[in-house]
């Protein structure tokens, strides 16, 4: 299953100058697709290795993130924000290698004379998803479409 990433809301207003560009230009759909694929390819890789890979792949990119802001090279904080678009690795589902055999349980029929009030079994709820603090800005952008 391919990860559905969309870094466009985060990088949409950027003016970039890649190492092979003759002059600065507004980021385009090809650049955004490249960033999506680049980030997606870091899934399952350690964070340090992913940061290093993004650093090598985006070396030479100069970015102006907002109007009036001074252009600068992409750095580790920029790469961290991009990596925050990946889902946390600990949320992956794993299938156990062995499935336990069913166990026979003796059942007794309860008549009205010895009927007891039964307590329904406790319901198990899904664990609450928590995100690392560095994802706050990325989650804000995703939730509000900014």
Average pLDDT, consecutive stretches of 10 residues, N- to C-terminus, the chain (146 residues): 70 87 90 90 89 91 89 89 78 54 66 63 69 75 73
Per-residue model confidence (pLDDT) at position 140: 76
With 0.75 as the threshold, say if the pTM is over it.
no
Residues 138 and 82: their CA atoms lie apart, in Å, by: 8
Per-residue model confidence (pLDDT) at position 115: 57
Residues 6 and 92: their CA atoms lie apart, in Å, by: 20
Residues 82 and 51: their CA atoms lie apart, in Å, by: 9
Count of other CB atoms within 10 angstroms of residue 10: 21
């Amino acid at each position: 299953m391919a990860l559905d990433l969309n870094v466009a809301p985060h990088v949409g207003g950027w003016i970039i100058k890649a190492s092979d560009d003759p002059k600065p230009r507004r980021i385009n759909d090809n650049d955004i697709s490249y960033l999506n694929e680049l980030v997606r390819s870091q899934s399952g890789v350690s964070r340090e290795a992913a940061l290093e890979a993004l650093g090598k792949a985006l070396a030479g990119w100069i970015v102006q993130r907002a109007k009036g802001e001074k252009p600068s090279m992409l750095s580790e904080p920029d790469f961290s924000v991009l990596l925050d678009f990946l889902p946390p690795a600990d949320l992956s589902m794993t299938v156990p290698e062995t499935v336990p055999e069913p166990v026979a349980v003796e059942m007794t029929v309860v008549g009205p004379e010895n009927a007891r009030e039964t307590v329904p079994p406790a319901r198990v709820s899904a664990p609450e998803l928590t995100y690392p603090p560095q994802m706050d800005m990325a989650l804000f952008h995703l939730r509000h479409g900014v």
